[in-house]
Structure 1
Amino acid sequence: MDETGPASGHLMLITPERVFYAGLLGRPRARCSGAFHVYVAIRDGLWLSSADGREAYGELLAVAPNVRHTVTSDHRSVICVTVEPESVSPGALDELMTRLLGEQRELYARRIRAAYDELRSRACRGDITSSAFDRMCFDEALPRRRLDARVARAIAQIGRFSGEPVTATSCANEAGLSASRFLHLFKQETGISFRSFRAWKRARHLLHFANQDLNLAHLAQDIGYPDSTHFSHSIRRFYGLKPRAIFSGSRDLAIYHSGRIEGSDSGLTQEAG
């Protein structure tokens, strides 16, 4: 959808490797996402408490992937920018966090708010690549990670969300490796286990449907959860909210999809729903 967003100003741009969200924060419990998070206050400030011992307050906060944390806001809405860690070179997110939380923190906060204003007024959002997204939010493109082709193919399979569930065994067979060797290679290349990576991507895929009126039990099955209990527990772990709370708070959320990804033969991702 390319029309102007809703009067609320709430929007989400989902790309294969990035998400830009501006909307309700809700009242979450601790969350533990698989992505790198940058939170920016739309107004006033934000509070952060994390499992690695950080306590912080400010207009911009950043959290590394797979760190359990809680964010609260003085204002009911917030901007959240996420970066998928397997898409950038090792160490790049650590360097980005240092810059974001350094002397230019206010400048980055203003830039991300300006990106929000641009997305609200932009006529077309479907052509935004990861590099364009990064320049819009961080003033530079983050260096891309070079993945082993066998791992890259497995990641693409996980992102399709169609047909039979993707397993380590099926990916190993396609790669011509034993299951144990494939699992070792996958973690070596991405920095995370295959099982944890797949669980996060499954939960991330939920975002594509957050503003739709759907039967959640059917959605859980379509995404690949064995039952509603696993679905609810997984979503609460990653987002700090029950699935129903996410859908309830997203009724006025405009969701845009960009399938552009650098390095793809077709220029399209398999993920968009």
Structure 2
Amino acid sequence: MNDRDRRESGHLMLISPERVFYAGLLGRPRKRSSGGFNIYAAIRGSLKITEDKSEAVGEVALVPPYLPHSVESEHPSIICLVIEPETVEPLAMDQLSARISGPGAPDIAQRIRQAYDSLRLQQRRGGFTTGQFDQLFFGEALPDRNIDQRIRRSAARLNDFSDFSGGKMTATDCAASVSLSPSRFLHLFKEQTGVSFRAFRAWKRARHLLHFVNEDINLAHLAQDIGYPDSTHFSHSIRRFYGLQPRAIFSGSRDLAIYRSDSGVLDSAGFRQGRP
């Protein structure tokens, strides 16, 4: 499928180290446990989020990181935004969650759908910054998380798959790069991010798969490139985070147009440039 056909399908994704916007097929996923804040919006009608024994039905919903859940939608396609938790203040996400679960939910859902329509009609080609992303979907830039700069730099390195090294980095590698002992680094990492280094790295590996989902690519080779020891670990991890097997994700994404963030927008400390 060529780029023109992908743009005309209406299925598209914006992706950066800090944010993802996806509008495309939902498929029939099992339970998933994304490492980011997931905001789901129905393209038409409503959707149902099931978390353990609780269910919520509406036009829009927010699911916290690493919480197992399943999604059903009246429409075969769905909108999903992913916000990486290490990049935004927890209080801001608490406030956004309260808005999404409150009486303002229909307005938020409508804004997200209007933003999608705008993106679809633009058939954009250029990149975007985090500030532009937030402004488009939420009407304001979400505040940066106040995090130790050493951990921020390490998180940025784990996010950087430009040469596929991010998924293969160990805690010892990261600790040495910020002049900490491995034990101190692991403690500080979990204290600052709220999640273990191992879980964080596993999510970033699985997340990087999104860059390739519309390509005709050898999945076994991709698994090795992004840090998985073998295909079994690869399939298990992807199914855990997305509720689908890798082949099912690729099969349903052939018509997906992918737009990436502006290049060169990270400074040496790992901060993203271009916020309002």
TM over 0.5: yes
Map 1:96-245; keep pairs closer than 5 Å: 96-122=96-122, 124=124, 126-161=126-161, 162=163, 165-245=168-248
Matched, 1:255 2:254: no
Q: Percent identity?
A: 59
User: Residue 20 of structure 1 corresponds to which residue in structure 2?
Assistant: 21
- Which residue of the partner structure matches residue 70 of structure 1? 70
1:163 to 1:78, Cα distance in 2 relative to 1, 3 A: closer
The answer (yes or no) to whether the contact 1:119–1:125 under 8 Å persists in 2 is: no
Q: Work out whether residues 36 and 64 of structure 2, in 8 Å CA contact, stay in contact via their aligned partners in 1.
A: yes
Question: Is 1:48 matched up with 2:49?
Answer: yes
Contact 1:42 1:77 in 2 (8 A): yes
Counterpart secondary structure, 1:6: helix
Which one-letter code corresponds to 1:127 in the other structure? G
Q: Give the aligned residue type for 1:42.
A: I
Say if 1:125 and 1:258 are closer, same or farther in 2 by CA, change over 3 A: farther
The unaligned stretches of length 5 or more in structure 2 are none
Q: Distance in 1 between matches of 2:6 and 2:252?
A: 16
Partner in structure 2 of residue 7 of structure 1: 8
Q: Which residue identity does 2:93 align to in structure 1?
A: L
Q: Which residue of 1 aligns with 2:39?
A: 38
The CA deviation at 1:261 is 8.2
Q: Secondary structure at the match of 1:32?
A: coil
Shift of 1:3: 6.7
For residue 2 of structure 1, report the CA deviation from its aligned partner.
9.1
Matched AA of 2:134: D
206-215 vs 86-95, which deviates more?
86-95
CA RMSD of aligned residues (A): 2.2
CA offsets 1:4-33 (integer angstroms, 9 cap, x no match)? 953321001101211110000000000000
* Offset of residue 167 of structure 1: 0.5
Contact 1:23–1:253 at 8 Å: present in 2 too? Answer: yes
- Higher alpha-carbon deviation: 255-264 or 14-23: 255-264
Instruction: Give the superposition deviation at 1:213.
Output: 0.3
Once the two structures are superposed, what CA deviation does each residue of 1:113-161 show, in whole Å capped at 9, x if it has no partner? 0110111123545332112111111111111112212112211221223
Query: 1:45-93 CA deviation, whole Å, 9 max, x = no partner?
Result: 1111013x43111111111111100001111000111100100012221
TM-score of the pair, normalised by structure 2: 0.91
Q: Between Structure 1 and Structure 2, how many residues are aligned?
A: 268
Give the 3-state SS of the residue equivalent to 1:7 in structure 2.
Answer: helix
1:234 CA drift (Å): 0.1
The residue type paired with residue 237 of structure 1 is R
C-alpha spacing 1:59/1:262, structure 2 compared with 1 (3 Å)? same
Structure 1 alignment gaps of length 5 or more? none
Q: Distance in 2 between matches of 1:228 and 1:222?
A: 11
SS of structure 2 residue aligned to 1:21: strand
Which residue type is aligned with residue 247 of structure 2?
R
| Partners of 1:60 and 1:109 within 8 A in 2 | yes
Distance across 1 between alignment mates of 2:102 and 2:200: 30
In structure 2, give the amino acid aligned to 1:92.
Answer: A
Residue 257 of structure 1, CA deviation: 0.6
What is residue 85 of structure 1 aligned with on the other side?
85
Distance 2:194 2:263 in 1: 24
Cα pair distance change 1:266/1:168, threshold 3 Å = closer
Question: In structure 1, what is the Cα distance between the partners aligned to 2:79 and 2:238?
Answer: 20
